Amino acid sequence: MKVEMRGRQCGLVLGRFQPFHLGHLEYVEAARSRCQRLFVGITNPDPESRVATSADPARSTAENNPFTFAQRRAMIEASLWDLGWTDRDFAIVPAPILQVDRLLHYLPPPSETTAFLTVYDEWGEQKVQLMRSLGYAVDVMWRRDHASRVASGTQIRTMLADGTDWHPLVPDAVARQLADRDHLAS
């Protein structure tokens, strides 16, 4: 069921999606239920957009951003298509979140968009303030501590590196893509 958000037709979610996992899927599904069309903003879309922030300095390092924009876009698209979403339901855009002069060139206008955010830490609070300062209506869908997360990209990247079974933490489409990637690397 779609909920009318003060006349705003577009929704926006933001994340690095390194990789896209079940926690991210919960997030985008919750946001999509509140708007007509959801924009999925991939933060840190390229190496030049990775800017360190004191709220979460590790998020800008190369080892914490192993997947390209194209790989992450493919993971998200395939996951949402598996759920029956169509291209009318969503769009995936770059979102260099800490480069505000570039950010607004990629996002739908604040006048017709609600930014749906989740908060787990100081970085989440910083995103809320940033999006409000840009004129977006902000809907914080939930605040949780790190222990309450469904999954984390750090956890999955560690599992990928040490050979632990990461499959239960990602949508099937992502599992297929990561398995194909591993197969090509061997």
pLDDT in tens, 137-156: 999 999 999 889 999 999 99
183: Cβ–Cβ under 8 A, 6 or more apart, which residues?
none
Task: Say if CB 144 and CB 120 are below 8 A apart.
Answer: yes
Q: What are the pLDDT digits (tens) for 13-35?
A: 999 999 999 999 999 999 999 99
Q: What's the pLDDT score for residue 8?
A: 61
Stretches in the chain below the pLDDT threshold 50: 1-7, 183-186
- Helical ranges in 2-138 per DSSP H: 22-32, 69-82, 100-103, 122-133
Q: What's the pLDDT score for residue 88?
A: 95
Q: What's the pLDDT score for residue 182?
A: 57
Q: What's the pLDDT score for residue 13?
A: 98
